[in-house]
Amino acid sequence: MSTGMNDVSTGARWFGTGHSTLTDPAAAGAEAAAGALDGRVPAVVFVFCSVGYQVPELFDAVRAQAGPDTVIVGCTTSGQLGDGRVSRAGVAMTAWGGAGFAVRTQVARGATGRLREAGAQAASCLAAVGSEHRALLIIGDGLTGATHEIVRGAFSVAGAAVPLAGGCAGDNLTYVRTYQFHGGRDGVEILSDTVIGIAIGSDRPLGVGLAHGWQKQGDAMVVTNSRDGRVLELDGEPALDVFLRRLGVGDSALDDPAAFRDLAFHHPLGLSRRSGEDIRVIHDGDLSDRSLICLADVPQGALIWMMTSDHDSLLDSAGEASGQALEALGGVPALGMLVFDCAARWIKLGEAGVQQENAEIGKRLDGVPYGGFYTNGEIGRVRGALGMHHFTLVTLALA
């Protein structure tokens, strides 16, 4: 367990982003840090990079410009955005500082097998932030499975009054190993299997938004048998059989796992919610028990729909999520925004689509800086008690 801290900082409030696609980690880190910090001492710096950059040299430049209380956090990704650009391989840094901000962190290590406890542990940093407006950011390891338990644990500590946002680290969709970063001026730890809680405090409003752009398709199905993220039966039938039948394909669709994943990306499941749907991306099918495998929970007994979308709806959702976060600021001008965008949306949108999505966000923010990463699962909770999402874009706006 470790903590980072930044008590209420001073000076003019600012929000900056930087981005680099240089291949040398030290040079890339320096370029991104220069863009994000621009000579200012940050309260917090978020470092999002593609796998391969997770070496100490990446942080040299940002550490050199950090103050004694600066918090440096982040993770590896399946793509990152910042400084108005999107990259698959690169480094994006987002930072803010100035008067009225407070940041505290807590790292829960060895999260696998105790995700709920780790979520609660990570959220415990909130207790040290007494600001009028608070939010809890969570960065998890995208490969721990059952990530909804992290959110349950965090909610048990944060309660309903504190919005949750964040995402799970990625490794360019290879699902081998992800890394999380945590530290400060004296050094940055490069970790795996952790949950990092980042308590954000501000004397001005914080706004969280989330949207996905998917619609229900066909009749609802009852999840008659499931275990965490593994859906065994839909309407009493093997879930894989139902899914393949609805798509009009046979078992051969699973011959090539990558092709099946690509196919399933386009047809996620949707859990009906009062405030919309929680999307569940299907990552695999298991011929042995004819189940569907999702990376977040699909509760037994729930109603579920096959979901469909189109290019424009997905693009619109980026603007919608951004707009929700801005609106939640209650009319106070936005300073900047963090973005947690699902890596599966990248696949669905394609390279050109991602650029369009980025433009959509930029257009909606109208010059307000933003940065973030493409995640292996998004965390966003404003209403209700649930907050684990897939195929969704979650935003956190600061005023």
Judged by the rule CB under 8 A, the positions of this chain that interact with another protein are 152, 155-156, 159-162, 222-224, 272-275, 299-303, 383-386
Rounded to the nearest angstrom, the gap between the alpha carbon of residue 129 and the centroid of all alpha carbons in its chain is 22
293, 264 Cβ separation under 8 angstroms: no
Residue 51 in tokens: 């796998």
**Measured from the CB of residue 4, what is the shortest distance to another protein in angstroms?**
24
**Measured from the CB of residue 2, what is the shortest distance to another protein in angstroms?**
26
4, 73 Cβ separation under 8 angstroms: yes
**Measured from the CB of residue 154, what is the shortest distance to another protein in angstroms?**
12
Residue with smaller CB distance to another protein, 62 or 211: 211
Residue with smaller CB distance to another protein, 95 or 126: 126
**Measured from the CB of residue 384, what is the shortest distance to another protein in angstroms?**
4
92, 86 Cβ separation under 8 angstroms: no
Residue with smaller CB distance to another protein, 95 or 199: 199
Residue with smaller CB distance to another protein, 152 or 280: 152
**Measured from the CB of residue 273, what is the shortest distance to another protein in angstroms?**
6
Q: In this structure, what is the dihedral angle of CA atoms 21, 52, 17, 26, given to the nearest 10 degrees?
A: -80
119, 195 Cβ separation under 8 angstroms: yes
Residue with smaller CB distance to another protein, 95 or 223: 223
305, 221 Cβ separation under 8 angstroms: yes
**Measured from the CB of residue 138, what is the shortest distance to another protein in angstroms?**
17
49/181 Cα distance (integer angstroms):
10
49/314 Cα distance (integer angstroms):
24
Residue with smaller CB distance to another protein, 23 or 272: 272
